[in-house]
Amino acid sequence: MAEITKYTYRVEPQQVDFTLRASVPSMLDCILNTAGKDAHNKGFGVEVLQQRSLSWVLSRLAVELDRVPEQYEEFSIGTWINDFNRLSSTRNFLLESRGEVFGRAVSQWCMIDLGSRSVADMSSMADVYRAAMVEAASPCDKPLRLGATEPQHRTERPVVYSDIDFNRHVNTMRYVEMIFNALPLERIEHNDGVRIDLNFLAEGRWGQTLIMGHAAEGEVSHFEISSDDGRTLCRARVVWR
């Protein structure tokens, strides 16, 4: 049985926002890059999958941040897989700095066939995957399954080159940025803790237009991003403490 693997980071100037603390999107980016790095190091990274015309796709993510670290603050992200089946795998994250846990995350991934763009069976990776499993509970509630939202606000924009990643679809981080760009700046400035739940339902493609609906009630905001062909691509919920 494997152990939790820790990766260490420092908040670089390009990760901080106008508050001189790491932006919440940059922390999500760091969490997702840790997933990629750990998969790579353990023999089931995207480059191994790409050779077999497969790739990892994030299906759900929940992140809790009690605070965001400051510029040049050092922190670690511990990551481990504690569950998988043919269609989904669960990867966990624990964020620590100055001897304290300040964040937790749970992600659920599936594998897609790059030819058919449909979900692939993970059984072929079972052996290498099983060797990386850690018997430790997830550090927070699993990502919520989010329902449809009745939007109060609506914005749209085209999918552009910089949105498209190695998977040839709109990168997760672009949805996260769209969501944070729609939140009030005051809320981002006075962040005493936040939980974000994200569901990824379909792929956004170059040439499409993204339509984002947004509804807020008190400390809870709901988001739904669709493509102009009517498919829902991403749903999110942001809850401030």
Strand runs labelled E in 11-160: 54-65, 74-84, 89-97, 100-113, 118-120, 153-158
Residue closer to its own copies (CB basis): 1 or 8 = 8
What gap in Å lies between CA 40 and CA 178, rounded to an integer? Answer: 28
Measured in whole angstroms, the distance separating CA 214 from the mean position of its chain's CA atoms is 19
Q: Is 100 in the site for its own copies (CB under 8 A)?
A: no
Binding to its own copies in span 16-35, by CB under 8 A? 16-18, 20, 23, 25, 29, 32-33
Q: Is 188 in the site for its own copies (CB under 8 A)?
A: yes
Two structure tokens written together for 236: 């999110």
Residue closer to its own copies (CB basis): 39 or 106 = 39
Q: Count residues near its own copies (CB under 8 A).
A: 37
What gap in Å lies between CA 50 and CA 126, rounded to an integer? Answer: 17
Quote the least distance from Cβ 13 to its own copies, whole Å. 5
Quote the least distance from Cβ 171 to its own copies, whole Å. 8
Residue closer to its own copies (CB basis): 59 or 138 = 59
Q: Which residues are CB-neighbours of 51 under 8 A, at least 6 positions away? A: none
Residue closer to its own copies (CB basis): 1 or 116 = 116
Quote the least distance from Cβ 45 to its own copies, whole Å. 8
Q: Is 14 in the site for its own copies (CB under 8 A)?
A: yes
Which of 181, 190, 209, 231 touches its own copies by CB under 8 A? 181
Give the number of other Cβ atoms within 10 Å of residue 149's Cβ. 17
Q: Which residues are CB-neighbours of 79 under 8 A, at least 6 positions away? A: 4, 5, 6, 7, 34, 35, 38, 91, 92, 93, 94
Residue closer to its own copies (CB basis): 29 or 197 = 29
Quote the least distance from Cβ 54 to its own copies, whole Å. 14
What gap in Å lies between CA 48 and CA 51, rounded to an integer? Answer: 6
Q: Is 146 helix (H, G, I), strand (E, B) or coil?
A: coil
What gap in Å lies between CA 235 and CA 241, rounded to an integer? Answer: 20
Binding string to its own copies for residues 134 to 163, with x set by CB under 8 A, is what? -----------------------x--xxx-
Element spanning 232, H or E: strand 232-240
Q: Is 50 in the site for its own copies (CB under 8 A)?
A: yes
Q: Which residues bind its own copies (CB under 8 A)?
A: 12-14, 16-18, 20, 23, 25, 29, 32-33, 36-37, 45-47, 50, 71-72, 157, 160-162, 164-166, 168, 171, 173, 177, 180-181, 183, 185, 188, 206
